[in-house]
């Protein structure tokens, strides 16, 4: 009676239950990784890799739903999405979300994916969007990959209010231009949180 070969878990939780080879090598030695598997593996890394957490501590505490511990289950979901050239996002639809799951994740453009990154980045004592420069508080924001200066202020909160106003405007513009209604609604929810000062 033969024993079934035990497969090593991916990042301690993931099961590569594929019915095909996910990593192939061409005659010239070039390796090609299945894009579904690559996205799945990277997602598990962000949730469970201690090395990744050392570089990106904001991901500590993030998990992947049990359904997506199966590669083929994740692949079945991803294959139905508009994913090519886009990034898997977990917290635009639901602000503050820490769980990768089908109803909370979406594929978004690079610009949309980076739009809210600064909200979770580590900062000093100054409010978000504010830096000390030339004896005054400077407000600045990133728009379309470019840093936009919003002016100098005598008080940090005044600089933060300038950032907040600009961030709300940019976020709502992105919501209007988005084709995915879930992502559009999520961006609007983020804009209301920013406008209300819940992100500071």
Residue-wise pLDDT for 82-104, tens only, equals: 999 999 999 999 988 999 999 99
φ, ψ for residue 54, nearest 5 deg: -65, -30
What percentage of residues in the chain have a pLDDT greater than 70?
92
Identify the residue whose tokens are 């804009």: 191
Tell me, yes or no, whether 73 and 11 share the same domain. yes
Mean pLDDT for the stretch of residues 3-23: 83
Q: Is the pTM of this model over 0.85?
A: no
What percentage of residues in the chain have a pLDDT greater than 90?
68
Q: Is 109 left (phi over 0), alpha (psi -120 to 50) or beta?
A: beta
Taking the alpha carbons at both ends of the chain, their separation in whole angstroms is 63
94 is a domain residue: no
Tell me, yes or no, whether 120 and 198 share the same domain. yes
Domain extent at residue 178: 109-200
130 is a domain residue: yes
90 is a domain residue: no
Neighbours of 149 (CB within 10 A): 11
Encoding tokens for residue 80?
Answer: 């139905």
Q: Rounded to whole angstroms, how far apart are CA atoms 11 and 8?
A: 9
Tell me, yes or no, whether 41 and 121 share the same domain. no
Looking at 41, 59, 80, which one is the last position of a domain?
80
In this predicted structure, what is the pLDDT of residue 123?
53
11 is a domain residue: yes
Mean pLDDT for the stretch of residues 119-138: 77
Tell me, yes or no, whether 128 and 200 share the same domain. yes
In this predicted structure, what is the pLDDT of residue 118?
58
At 57 the three-state DSSP class reads helix
Q: Per residue in 160-187, pLDDT tens?
A: 999 999 999 999 999 999 989 999 999 9
Tell me, yes or no, whether 39 and 113 share the same domain. no
In this predicted structure, what is the pLDDT of residue 142?
86
Alpha-helical segments (H) within 95-155: 110-115
Rounded to 10°, the helix 35-48/71-78 angle is 120
96 is a domain residue: no
* pLDDT above 90: residue 78: yes
Least confident piece of the model among 65-79, 82-96, 123-137, 141-155? 123-137
21 is a domain residue: yes
188 is a domain residue: yes
What is the number of structural domains in the chain?
2
CB 171 within 8 A of CB 194: yes
* pLDDT above 90: residue 133: no
């Amino acid at each position: 009676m033969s024993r079934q070969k035990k497969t090593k878990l991916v990042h301690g939780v993931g099961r590569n239950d594929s019915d095909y080879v996910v990593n192939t090598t061409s005659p010239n030695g070039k390796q090609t990784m299945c894009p579904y598997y690559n996205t799945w593996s990277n997602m598990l890394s962000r949730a469970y890799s201690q090395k990744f957490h050392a570089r990106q501590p904001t991901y500590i505490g993030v998990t992947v739903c049990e359904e997506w511990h199966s590669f083929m289950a994740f692949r079945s979901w991803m294959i139905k999405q508009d994913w090519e050239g886009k990034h898997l996002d977990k917290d635009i639809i639901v602000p503050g979300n820490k769980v990768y799951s089908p109803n909370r994740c979406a594929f978004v453009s690079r610009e949309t994916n980076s739009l809210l990154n600064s909200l979770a980045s580590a900062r000093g004592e100054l409010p978000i969007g504010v830096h000390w420069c030339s004896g005054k508080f400077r407000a600045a924001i990133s728009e379309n990959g470019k840093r936009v200066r919003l002016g100098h202020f005598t008080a940090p909160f005044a600089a933060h209010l300038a950032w907040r106003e600009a961030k709300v405007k940019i976020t709502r513009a992105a919501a209007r231009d988005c084709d995915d209604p879930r992502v559009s609604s999520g961006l609007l929810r983020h804009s209301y949180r920013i406008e209300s000062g819940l992100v500071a």
